[in-house]
Chain A
Amino acid sequence: MQLTVNGNSLDIDAEPDMPLLWALRDIANIRGPKFGCGIAMCGACTVLVNGQPRRSCSLPIGDVDGEVTTVEGLADGDTLHAVQQAWIAEQVPQCGYCQSGQIMSAVALLEEVDNPSDEDIDNAMAGNLCRCGTYTQIRAAIKRAAGSKAGA
């Protein structure tokens, strides 16, 4: 089965009902997306498919209908994505486990809403849980990234 991940065409030798997260981590060795709950309840496995956030733990590879982007595919060469830069500037992560999922959801939000309000952020990010409680830093980083995108 062919998947396009971060611009690369990958040949995945697996049954179509294998969750995308398994294919990414165990076959393609792309370890940014994390296993959290396995039932789309926590957001740690979030990737983009055609720009839309999807919980890869619950998405069979047979149903992947577009290009997959993981946190590894956000940077442009050595230049980190605006959201990644904001994440560093705001020192968002603590343990870091949920952060790739958080970043992917934030990227998707900013693609749709240029200057998100607190409410917009709550509406888009509430499905990404953080046991360290970095929510205030996440909110600040999203607003910082929105500002940097506006100034770009």
Chain B
Amino acid sequence: MTRSLAGALLANITGAALLLSAAFAQTSEEQTDTNDEAATAAPTIPSQAGLDAWEAAYKVFSHPRCVNCHTADEYPRWSGPSYGEARVHGMNVQRGPAGFGMAGMQCITCHGNENSAKLHGPPGNDVWHLAPVEMAWWEKSSAEICEQIKDPERNGGRTLEEVATHIRDDGLVLWGWDPGPGREPAPGSAQETYALIVKWAAEGAPCPLP
């Protein structure tokens, strides 16, 4: 049994134990009903195929082309193989009230509709902006991002199917695989990542332990 599978199994067993503990605190009538449910609900083993699909997708979600603009603070990041240590975006660039930059210096001041052809020139896309704070992934673990992706409050109000199609079809997401000269693209392709999310969702969208 792999470590991740064992961990996820432990998580499910722990969940079942908590369910039983909560049932003991209830009234006798409720206790009887809940114990009946608990007795019939055996702990489920998360799909290893689902966990594997997630881990492959996580390599995309956690890649610099994605996380650099999925930050929890006001600043995008510069990082990746050509940048050495990760650093805050230069020029005091900030998120601004809507994620498109500050008055007098919005993202579009430098980031046009397409990538600069010059090394270290500004990358571009039709719409360039930071992800909302609740969708921050910067320096978050696989387990943390996995739970975020399943939470409509933190994934842009999307179902898992909509998450998959967003990855496949959104222009700014697609930029991650076509980032311009000198930048490492996100792993795989948009289509492959779409397929990973579809697979992960079909397998019950299991998440690794924190």
Contact = CB atoms under 8 A, between A and B. Distances in A.
A89 interface: no
Given A38-B118, A53-B105, A126-B92, 19 more contacts: A39-B120, A40-B116, A40-B122, A41-B91, A46-B109, A52-B106, A52-B108, A53-B109, A55-B109, A55-B122, A58-B122, A63-B114, A105-B104, A106-B104, A112-B104, A123-B92, A127-B105, A127-B109, A127-B110
Contacts of A122: 92
A126 B91 contact: yes
B113 interface: yes
Given A52-B106, A123-B105, A39 B122 contact: yes
B159 to A, nearest CB: 34
A120 B92 CA distance: 11
Contact of A40 (B110, B117, B119): B110
- Interface secondary structure of B, over-half rule: loop
B35 to A, nearest CB: 60
A40 B111 CA distance: 9
A60 B122 CA distance: 12
18 contacts: A39-B116, A39-B118, A39-B121, A41-B120, A53-B105, A53-B109, A54-B109, A60-B112, A109-B104, A113-B104, A123-B102, A124-B103, A125-B104, A125-B105, A126-B92, A127-B91, A127-B92, A127-B110
A30 interface: no
Given A41-B90, A122-B92, A53 B104 contact: yes
B103 A112 contact: yes
B10 interface: no
Interface string A41-57: 10000100000111100
Contacts of A55: 109-110, 122
A122 B102 CA distance: 10
A124 B91 CA distance: 9
Interface centre among B91, B92, B105 (most CB of A within 10 A): B105
B9 interface: no
Nearest to A53: B109
Interface residues of A, number: 27
A60 B114 contact: yes
Interface of A: 17, 38-41, 46, 52-55, 58-60, 63, 105-106, 108-109, 112-113, 120, 122-127
B156 to A, nearest CB: 26
Contact of A124 (B104, B112, B113, B114): B104
A105 B91 CA distance: 13
Contacts of B110: 40, 55, 58, 127
Contact of B109 (A52, A60, A63, A106): A52
Contacts of A59: 112
Contact of A123 (B94, B108, B114): B94
A59 B55 CA distance: 38
Nearest to A122: B92
Top 5 A-B pairs ranked by shortest CB distance? A124-B104, A109-B104, A126-B92, A112-B103, A40-B110
Contacts of B116: 39-40, 58
B93 interface: yes
